[in-house]
Structure 1
Amino acid sequence: AITYWLMGSLSGTRMSDLWFCLPWMVLGFAPLLLLRWRLNLLAMPADDARAMGVNVPRLRSAALVCATLLTAVSVAMSGTIGWVGLVSPHMARRLVGSDGRRLIPSSMLIGALFLLAMDDLSRCLTATEIPIGILTALLGAPIFFLFLTWRGGASDA
């Protein structure tokens, strides 16, 4: 059991686990989705963002608290599944650009689809289920390396 939690698996997750974690996920997602247009301003120098009326330390803290809450809920449900959080935002940025209004929802969708594909693959490859973290590492690391070395795409527009 601990091995699957350390390497990540969805095999032990039940619907009751999802219902228990749902309020915490909403508590983390809602502020990020409501503030996603302001998160674009964090890419600017702090003085410029402040001049546009943004309380930079407060916005940074809110984003960090929300991201920490979402990470904690995800790890509590499925264990540590690496590379999804690195690959999906980079892939989304290549597809839709850096605007947070489109980047955050598309990152969520791509991450969910990537995780679903890895879960299906982990259940179908062998007679016993392979922990998802192993597959995401085997596929995510090369994909991430390609994103680091590849030039061009929507992010350069």
Structure 2
Amino acid sequence: ADRTLVLVLTGVVLGALAGAITSLLKILADPYDQLPAITFWLLGSLSGMHMAQVWVVAPVVLVGCSVLYLLRWRLNVLSLPEAEASALGVQVKPLRIAVIALATIMTSAVVAVAGVIGWIGLLIPHAARLLVGPSLARLLPMSIVMGALFLLLVDTASRSAGDLEIPLGILTALVGAPFFLGLLLRRAGASS
């Protein structure tokens, strides 16, 4: 419990620090040129994307997804307690570090060009798991396909909702937050 509390408090502190730095950058930015670009990037959009950016990011994502797929059986074993996973021959700590590093590199590459589009990485794997189960042999490809389709639908909705393009981060939060609230309520109902 103490480690969980420290982890949560560390997340809160780092989030507050990052928020303060972001606010400082917004205050120091040119209000006519840089500030709108910063704000739009923070809310996420595909409107400024060019194929050159896609070709830069695609190899990073393809390599990362390929490595994760090749590690799928080891990642399935990580759902077991650490002692059992180790008994099955999985080196738990190095594998966790590798997976976190891969996910961080892929996410950073995509966020660098498209901005912050939240909730997809939380929403889609849970929805895919409901459809195909927990095995990563099916879950990883389904998450990739569902994530791409979801982003396409959200981008289409953001561009066709009216005269003003709604940033994708806003729409994904409007879908993701109620979905997770439903999952939490479902889990609370099942445990009581």
Alignment TM-score, normalising by the size of structure 1: 0.91
Give the aligned residue type for 2:56. Answer: F
* Residue 96 (structure 1) shift: 0.9
How well do the aligned residues superpose, as a CA RMSD in angstroms? 1.2
SS of the residue corresponding to residue 43 of structure 1 reads: coil
Partner residue, 1:3? 39
- The partner residue of 1:141 within 153, 156, 177 is 177
Consecutive aligned runs of 4 or more in structure 1 exceeding 6 Å deviation: none
Give the aligned residue type for 2:104. Answer: T
- Which blocks of at least 5 consecutive residues in structure 1 are unaligned? 152-157
1:79-116 deviations in Å (ceiling 9; x for gaps): 11111111101101111111111111111111111111
* Residue 36 (structure 1) shift: 1.2
- The partner residue of 1:115 within 148, 151, 158 is 151
Q: Distance in 1 between matches of 2:123 and 2:184?
A: 10
- The partner residue of 2:83 within 28, 36, 47 is 47
* Residue 128 (structure 1) shift: 2.2
Q: Distance in 1 between matches of 2:117 and 2:38?
A: 13
Partner residue, 1:76? 112
Q: 141-150 or 127-136, which moves further after superposition?
A: 141-150
* Residue 44 (structure 1) shift: 0.6
* Residue 119 (structure 1) shift: 0.2
Partner residue, 1:35? 71
- Between Structure 1 and Structure 2, how many residues are aligned? 151
Partner residue, 1:88? 124
Partner residue, 1:61? 97
1:28-49 deviations in Å (ceiling 9; x for gaps): 1121011112101111111111
- 8 Å CA contact retained: 2:69, 2:136: no
Q: Distance in 1 between matches of 2:142 and 2:101?
A: 21
Q: Distance in 2 between matches of 1:143 and 1:91?
A: 9
- The partner residue of 1:16 within 33, 52, 57 is 52
Q: 8-17 or 133-142, which moves further after superposition?
A: 133-142
- Which blocks of at least 5 consecutive residues in structure 2 are unaligned? 1-36, 188-192
Partner residue, 2:164? 128
Give the aligned residue type for 2:177. Answer: A
The percentage of aligned residue pairs carrying the same residue is: 52
